[in-house]
Structure formats: C-alpha cells, structure tokens
C-alpha cells in the first residue's frame, strides 16, 4: 500500500515527508494506522549516525494507532484494536524467557537491523529499499508494520493520539525508578536532565512517594516543570559542581541517581553525589560512542556503589504499560503534561523546537 512517511536520506540531514510503499503484514506482523508517534532522542541519534541503521530509512518507535490488518498466526490483537507500539524482542532467548525482553540477546538486529528479521525491507521508494522495522515499527508514517510481540492492546477510551511515548521514553524513565531500581518510598533520587525521560522518572518517583527528588537541568522552564510534577529541588548546573549542589541538599548524598544526558563528565559528577551504597543508572545515549565512565576502584569499594546500564526501564511492555496507564487514570502519573502535538508534515520544525527546549516531548500526528 502507498503511505506517507518521513524519510531520512543522509546522516545528519533533514527528513523528507513523501509517499513510499509498505508491504502488507506477513506472518506474525500487525499493520497499524498511526494516530500519533513520539519524537525521541534515539530517533535523532540514529539519524545522526550515533546508532546503527541503514539509510535511507524511516525511523519512529513510539507509535500508537489502530490495527488495520494482521498476518497469519496473530492472536494477540485483531482488526480495529487500539494499540501502543514498543520495542522488538525475539521471545526465545534466555532474557526473553525470563520476562526481561529489554535485554533480549537479539535486541540490536531486531531494533536496528533495518529490515524484517527473516527477509527484506517492508518499505520501498520506487525500486529502492528503505531501512524499515526500526524498533519493530518505523512509525514516522501514516501506517506501520509491527510485530505481535511489540504491540500492546489498550482501552478505546484513552487519548490514543498522545499515548505512544509510553512505549519508549516514558517507560524508560519511569521504569528506571519503578523497575530497574524499584526505589522504595522515602528514598532519594537525583535525575540528570529534564527531558521526557528524566521527567518521566520524576513522575514515577512522585507516584512512589520518594522523599527527595532532585533534578539537574539548565533550562529554567524545565526546572519549573519538574517542580510542578513532583520534584523537591531543581538545580541549575551553571550554579556549580552538581555533587556539591546535591550535598548541599542532602549531606550524605542520594540513594539513586539516573543519568539521561549521556555526557561522561555529567555522569562522573553523579557518581560523586551518591550516598553510601548508592546506585547509578545510565540511560542517556552518548553522542560519542567511545564515551567512558571512570570510577575509582577504591572509592567504589569503600562507598559500595552500583552502576547499572538501563535499557527501556527494564520494562516488559505487556506488563508495565498497563501499570503506567492505571497510574495515569488515577491521576498519579500525568505524563500528558510533557506532550506537545505537531503534524507529521512538520517533523523538521519539531526537531528544531525540541532541540531549542521549546517542548519536552513532541508527538507527531499524521
């Protein structure tokens, strides 16, 4: 079928919104009419060459929409079902069998391979194959092919247009608090970066009733937003070393820290802000693939710190997304306050606006 999609042709270049062709659903696949798709830093990191993906290609991995057709063998959803799309996983490896699909041993080829797992690309432009199946969906488009494993059926009364970010950025930040670290009520949290992932962590921390929630963010508007969402303190990194500012709030340091910046120097300061037996979660994708964290071995032993890499908030989408939706329905997880909608046709303007900090999470509406 002919669809409209935002195509990335060159590394670092603009998107081109144009007509392309999408295959129908093969066995195990689900055709979804996209109602909204979040614009995520990971899309842009891949477009700019910091993550592997073949170009020209179609990104987009926070889609939501309506099932329009299903391939052979699909029983999880049916035509007409409202769904959220999340990351792809194989279902067969050790981690998937442990219900830890975000650490699927086939995560990279399934989410960044640029084609169906067992065949060619599902997207073409004329005779040219396009990179497709980004995170099992490539949803910067009017329609996308997903897989039975990475669709989650939701209730029809939800505001489907804005729900897509639950499938990646929101579940990543919230999951870091609620799943990766399972932060107990009354504990303390440092969040580095006030974008959609960081502020989703703030929302989860407030819902979990942490006692101290500190956000470090250079933009005043985002610091104000963080405070309105439940942060107890919002710090400007320009005011001095982060660890010193944190210890001015909590002399012993924080129990948990989550980095969403991917900047090694910032992560280093987070290590210095940890309390005894504190834990650091690394979420942000660095622009430098060789970026590294240096941790003093004696310091790590004496303090007893834990450093944990976090993918997708350790989420099993079939389990965790319904939990977040229930918190949202109860008024305890108002992630919609992060969302600004823009037309898919204005994707380049959306990228610029998000880069300028004028919006936290832009959802593109076909």
For residue 294, what pLDDT is reported?
A: 86
What lies within 8 Å, CB to CB, of 157 at 6+ separation is none
**Rounded Cα gap, residues 215 and 126, in angstroms:** 48
In sequence order, the β-bridge partners of residue 234 are: 215
CATH no. of 2-167+334-365: 3.90.180.10
Distance CA 329, CA 13 (A): 39
Beta carbons within 8 Å of 98's beta carbon, 6+ residues apart: none
> Please, where are the H alpha helices in the chain?
41-47, 94-97, 107-112, 169-175, 196-208, 220-229, 242-249, 264-272, 297-303, 317-329, 347-355
Query: Residue 287: pLDDT above 80?
Result: no
Q: What is the pLDDT of residues 132-178, one digit of tens each?
A: 999 999 999 999 999 999 999 999 999 999 999 999 999 999 999 99
SS3 content of the chain, % helix, strand, coil (to 5): 35, 25, 40
- Average of pLDDT values for 48-55? 92
Pick the CATH number of 173-310 from 3.30.930.10, 3.40.50.720, 3.10.150.10, 3.30.2130.10: 3.40.50.720
Residue 69 has a pLDDT of 98
Per-residue pLDDT band for 184 (boundaries 50, 70, 90) equals very high
* Beta partners for residue 254, in sequence order: 274
Whether residue 285 is predicted with pLDDT greater than 90 in this model: the reply is no
Q: Which residues pair with 33 in a beta bridge?
A: 66, 143
User: Quick one: pLDDT band at residue 288, thresholds 50, 70, 90?
Assistant: confident
* pLDDT tens profile 193-243: 999 999 999 999 999 999 999 999 999 999 999 999 999 999 999 999 999
Q: Percentage of residues in the chain with pLDDT exceeding 90?
A: 94
Beta strands in 111-259 (DSSP E): 123-125, 128-130, 143-147, 151-153, 188-192, 212-216, 233-235, 254-259
pLDDT at 304: 96
pLDDT digits (tens, 9 = 90+) for 290-315: 888 888 899 899 999 999 999 999 99
**With contact defined as beta carbons under 8 Å apart, do 339 and 40 qualify?**
no
Place of tokens 């949290």: 189
Q: Same topology for domains 2-167+334-365 and 173-310, yes or no?
A: no
Residue 80 pLDDT exceeds 90: yes
Task: Answer yes or no: pTM beyond 0.75.
Answer: yes
Rounded CA-CA distance 83/76 in Å is 11
Q: What is the pLDDT of residue 293?
A: 87
Average pLDDT over residues 95-119: 95
What is the per-residue pLDDT for 194? 96
Q: Region 245-261: what's the mean pLDDT?
A: 98
Q: Would you state the pLDDT for residue 290?
A: 83
- The domain spans of the chain are 2-167+334-365, 173-310
Query: What's the whole-number average pLDDT of the chain?
Result: 96
């Amino acid at each position: 079928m002919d669809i409209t999609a935002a195509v990335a042709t060159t590394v670092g270049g603009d998107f081109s919104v144009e007509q392309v062709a999408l295959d129908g659903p093969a066995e195990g696949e689900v055709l979804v009419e996209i109602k909204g798709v979040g614009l995520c830093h990971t899309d842009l990191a891949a477009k700019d060459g910091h993550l592997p993906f073949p170009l020209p290609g179609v990104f987009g991995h926070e889609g939501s929409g309506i099932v329009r057709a299903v391939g052979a063998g699909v029983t999880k959803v049916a035509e007409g079902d409202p769904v959220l799309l999340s990351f792809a996983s194989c279902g067969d490896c050790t981690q998937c069998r442990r219900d830890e699909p975000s650490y699927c041993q086939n995560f990279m080829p399934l989410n960044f391979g640029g084609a169906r797992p067992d065949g060619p690309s599902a997207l073409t432009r004329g005779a040219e194959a396009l990179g497709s199946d980004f995170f099992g969906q490539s949803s910067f488009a009017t329609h996308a092919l997903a897989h039975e494993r990475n669709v989650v059926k939701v209730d029809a009364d939800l505001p489907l247009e804005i729900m897509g970010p639950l499938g990646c950025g929101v579940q990543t930040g919230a999951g870091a608090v609620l799943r990766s670290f399972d932060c107990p009520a009354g504990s303390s949290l440092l969040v580095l970066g006030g974008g959609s992932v960081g502020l989703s962590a703030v929302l989860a921390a407030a819902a979990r009733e942490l006692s101290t929630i500190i956000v470090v963010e250079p933009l005043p508007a985002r610091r104000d937003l963080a405070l309105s969402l439940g942060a107890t303190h919002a710090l400007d990194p320009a005011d001095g070393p982060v660890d010193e500012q944190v210890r001015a709030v909590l002399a012993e340091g924080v129990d948990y820290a989550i980095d969403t910046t991917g900047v090694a120097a910032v992560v280093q300061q987070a290590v210095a802000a940890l309390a005894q037996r504190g834990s650091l979660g690394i979420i942000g994708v660095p622009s430098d693939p060789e970026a590294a964290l240096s941790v003093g071995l004696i310091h790590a032993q004496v303090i007893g710190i834990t450093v944990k890499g976090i993918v997708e908030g350790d989420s099993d989408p079939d389990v965790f997304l319904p939990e977040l939706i229930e918190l949202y329905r109860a008024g305890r997880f108002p992630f919609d306050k992060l969302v600004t909608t823009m037309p898919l046709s204005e994707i380049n303007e959306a990228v610029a606006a998000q880069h300028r900090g004028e919006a936290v999470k832009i959802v593109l509406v076909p």
